[in-house]
């Protein structure tokens, strides 16, 4: 599970005034919605009261020591309790207010921060971001009123200047394993600038898809990486995962089956099982429940080839 903070602050770090947001910015609310949809939100009681209702499509955990229950939400008495309540979610978003942001910062891996350009009077502030967080994405939106910057930080070891392509690929793979997709993207981009590599290209494509990048660009990059090495099972697996992630399950399954043909092993079978497809029986000409298939299947599974 990834714990993320999501906030909008002014250039003076103001996040609220008299129990409300100091601004009304539909573009930022839409971004908040698209980033948090389907996940869990942790928020202080006053933040919840300022919104007034649970947000659709998300599980809201309200932190409070005074309220016993809140309709449509879960209630937690502490941050630890709130995190354990939401432990089954892939990403949990701490949405404020001030004290909760500060309390959650040491536990969080990612920060989505909107900087609202301009100065606003206020009574609650966003904490200073520790140096252990690296800014990995910045999108300037001078067209909105007021102008905004969308920033994403992840808690990371610094990327050493002078790191070679192999070191960067390893760092990217480690970040990917920890689901730090923005950091992984940065590492793979830097490694690819030094040296082309089909695996790194396809890993970059996967991280792009998982971190809200342009889905078509992710798919195209995964296809290009595979085209440079058409039997590369790592590229096939990433392409399949992207296709499934982007909603094209049939295409993803076809790619997974191709990967199995080219010798892809457990990872392909695990992905097939994850999307709900059963592995074909060992002897396809016999029914799945035939004794030979049953015992051969168990044996092959035990020796790790099925």
**Residues at the site binding ligand NAP, with contacts judged by CB under 6 A:** 7-8, 15-16, 19-21, 44-47, 50, 63-67, 77-79, 95-100, 103, 124
At residue 132, what are phi and psi to the nearest 5 degrees?
A: -70, -10
Nearer to ligand NAP, 17 or 306 (CB): 17
- Shortest Å distance, C-beta 10 to ligand NAP: 9
Nearer to ligand NAP, 33 or 77 (CB): 77
Nearer to ligand NAP, 29 or 227 (CB): 29
Residues 6+ apart with CB under 8 A from 211: 137, 152, 181, 182, 185
Nearer to ligand NAP, 24 or 66 (CB): 66
- Shortest Å distance, C-beta 146 to ligand NAP: 13
Residue of minimal Cβ distance to ligand NAP: 97
Q: Which two tokens stand for residue 85?
A: 């309540």
DSSP H or E stretch at residue 170 = helix 165-177
- Shortest Å distance, C-beta 48 to ligand NAP: 7
Q: Which two tokens stand for residue 43?
A: 């928020």
- Shortest Å distance, C-beta 144 to ligand NAP: 15
- Shortest Å distance, C-beta 55 to ligand NAP: 12
DSSP state of 20: B
Residues 6+ apart with CB under 8 A from 6: 32, 35, 36, 93, 94, 95, 111, 112, 113
Whether residue 305 contacts residue 268, with contact meaning beta carbons closer than 8 Å, is answered with: no
Nearer to ligand NAP, 96 or 172 (CB): 96
Residues in the chain: 306
Nearer to ligand NAP, 96 or 282 (CB): 96
- Shortest Å distance, C-beta 133 to ligand NAP: 17
Residues 6+ apart with CB under 8 A from 186: 136, 159
Torsion (CA) 65, 71, 73, 77 in degrees, nearest 10: 10
């Amino acid at each position: 599970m990834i714990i993320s903070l999501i906030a909008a602050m002014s250039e003076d770090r103001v996040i609220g005034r008299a129990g409300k947001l100091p601004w009304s910015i539909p573009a930022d609310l839409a971004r908040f919605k698209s980033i948090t949809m389907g996940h869990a939100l942790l928020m202080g009681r006053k933040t919840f009261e300022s919104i007034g209702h649970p947000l659709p499509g998300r599980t809201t955990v309200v932190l409070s020591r005074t309220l016993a229950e809140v309709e449509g939400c879960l209630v937690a008495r502490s941050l630890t309790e709130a995190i354990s309540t939401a432990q089954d979610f892939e990403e949990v978003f701490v949405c404020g207010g001030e004290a909760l942001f500060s309390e959650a910062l040491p536990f969080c891996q990612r920060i989505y921060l909107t900087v609202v350009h301009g100065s606003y009077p206020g009574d609650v502030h966003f904490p200073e971001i520790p140096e252990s967080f690296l800014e990995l994405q910045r999108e300037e939106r001078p067209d909105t009123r007021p102008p905004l910057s969308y920033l994403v930080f992840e808690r990371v070891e610094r990327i050493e200047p002078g790191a070679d392509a192999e070191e960067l690929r390893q760092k990217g793979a480690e970040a990917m394993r920890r689901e730090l997709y923005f950091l992984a993207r940065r590492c793979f981009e830097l490694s690819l600038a030094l040296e082309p590599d089909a695996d790194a290209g396809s890993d970059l494509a996967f991280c792009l898809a998982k971190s809200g990048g342009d889905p078509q660009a992710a798919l195209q990059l995964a296809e290009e990486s595979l085209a440079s090495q058409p039997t590369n099972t790592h590229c096939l697996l990433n392409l399949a995962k992207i296709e499934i992630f982007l909603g094209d399950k049939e295409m993803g399954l076809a790619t997974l089956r191709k990967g199995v043909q080219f010798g892809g092993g457990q990872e392909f079978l695990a992905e097939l099982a994850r999307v709900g497809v059963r592995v074909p029986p060992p002897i396809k000409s016999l029914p799945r429940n035939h004794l030979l298939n049953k015992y051969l299947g168990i044996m092959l599974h035990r020796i790790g080839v099925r």
